[in-house]
Structure 1
Amino acid sequence: MTTADTNMTPTTRPESVAGILNRARFSLDGDEVSVRDVVEAMGRASFAPLLMLPAMIVASPASGIPGLSSICGISIALIAFQMIARRDHVWLPDWIMRRHAPRDRIRKALDWLCPPALFLDRVTRQRVCMLVEPPLLIVPQIICLLAGAMMPMLELVPFTSSLLGFAVAVMAVAMVTRDGLLVLLGLSTIVGAFALGQYLLA
């Protein structure tokens, strides 16, 4: 997250979730879409949106693409770490930036996410802002870091990666919209994901 992002004031107008998805559509050129295409379309300083997108994709039917949950999880962990470190721009290693997926699968995932995004834009508002402002902002950032790091290990455990992706997406939406109430929802989802993972591995 940029300095401007982390220092948002109550009068700053948050970005809409649907608007972020529309920005992602600019990367959908050619038969394949690379991580680099998405990062460049979103802007390297858009930390919270760049955190939200891979999380929402993992929570969508596109999570069925082999290896996608792992790539998204590693990206989430790296972006969250850089948010904690208060970097000005997102950096991802070249081997991740070169990863790509079929354009049609990603387009269908974004289409699938549009109705939930519009719903979130209707129901979210600035509330419990202390949870998405320093010093408490580090809590959802650390949770996103840990959840992203766990995704590659849980990819073969049914539903857990998608649940973790949903939790990270909720946390990222909380940061984008300054709705701290969503942080609590994200925490509940994290607890549910780990409980399900333990049950399935037992």
Structure 2
Amino acid sequence: MPEHESVLTSVVNDLQKCARDTPGSKVRAGDLLATLGHRGYGAALAILPLIELSPIGGIPGFPTMLAVVLAVLTLRLLLGYKSFWAPNWLRRRELRSDRVIRSVEWLRPLSQRIDAKLHERLSRFAGPAGRRAAGCVILGLLLTVPPLEIVPLASSAPMIVIAIFGLGMLFSDGLLMLLGFIGATIAVVGGLSFLI
């Protein structure tokens, strides 16, 4: 597979290498974030929500912790920062290396299929204005994660939409960005209908 077609899979490979190369049985969240850091916001906003869909997402409190990480990254994106940052208490959080490796291996076939399908198109919708609009929507979606964590698998819905936005940014795929906005609208309408 040509290099330009394996963007997401190479991110998955980097995360797996980070978890394997960490001494001991645990890997710090800060090390994983540093691994994503040189790839940009699109990679983080694509991969991290997808990890929530993997077996590690079933750990109580993990979706909320992930939502906090994503909120910090999204705020920095909206403020125009090029580099990642997370508070020390978050960077020091540890996850079992074997669980991270299993989750990343679970993502590999999915990442290969995504790499084969996505490419740059309608790129004006994935430009700076589209990214800012997506960032605002992502922050709104992240607010729903902690209460949704009470219901099994419910927090996966906003994470899927966030991953769509992240993939749109990563591949400069404006069509995917538009699908993210449509997905967010459907999620809001569906949530309001459920509450009413």
Hey, what does 1:16 align to over in structure 2? 7
Q: Deviations over 1:50-95 (max 9, x none)?
A: 2222211112232101111001101111111110111121111111
Hey, what does 1:169 align to over in structure 2? 163
**In the alignment, is the contact (CA less than 8 A) between 2:71 and 2:142 conserved in 1?**
yes
TM value normalised by structure 1: 0.84
Hey, what does 1:27 align to over in structure 2? 18
Tell me the amino acid that sits aligned with residue 61 of structure 2: G
Tell me the amino acid that sits aligned with residue 80 of structure 2: R
Partner of 1:160: helix, strand, or coil? coil
Hey, what does 1:93 align to over in structure 2? 87
**Closer/same/farther in 2, CA of residues 200 and 158 from structure 1, 3 Å limit:** farther
Alignment partner of 2:64 out of 62, 70, 75: 70
Which structure features the higher share of helix residues? Answer: 2
Alignment partner of 1:37 out of 31, 44, 50: 31
Rounded to whole Å, the distance in 2 between the matches of 1:14 and 1:83 is: 25
**Closer/same/farther in 2, CA of residues 19 and 162 from structure 1, 3 Å limit:** same
Tell me the amino acid that sits aligned with residue 18 of structure 1: T
Q: CA RMSD in A?
A: 2.2
Percentage identity across paired residues of the two chains: 25
Tell me the amino acid that sits aligned with residue 25 of structure 2: D
Gaps of 5+ in 2: none
TM value normalised by structure 2: 0.86
How much has 1:49 moved relative to structure 2?
Answer: 1.6
Q: How does 1:1-202 map to 2 (within 5 A)?
A: 16-28=7-19, 29=22, 30-43=24-37, 46-194=40-188, 197-198=191-192
Tell me the amino acid that sits aligned with residue 172 of structure 2: R
Gaps of 5+ in 1: 1-12
Q: Deviations over 1:19-67 (max 9, x none)?
A: 1111111220231122111012223672222222221111223210111
Rounded to whole Å, the distance in 2 between the matches of 1:121 and 1:45 is: 15
Rounded to whole Å, the distance in 2 between the matches of 1:199 and 1:62 is: 30
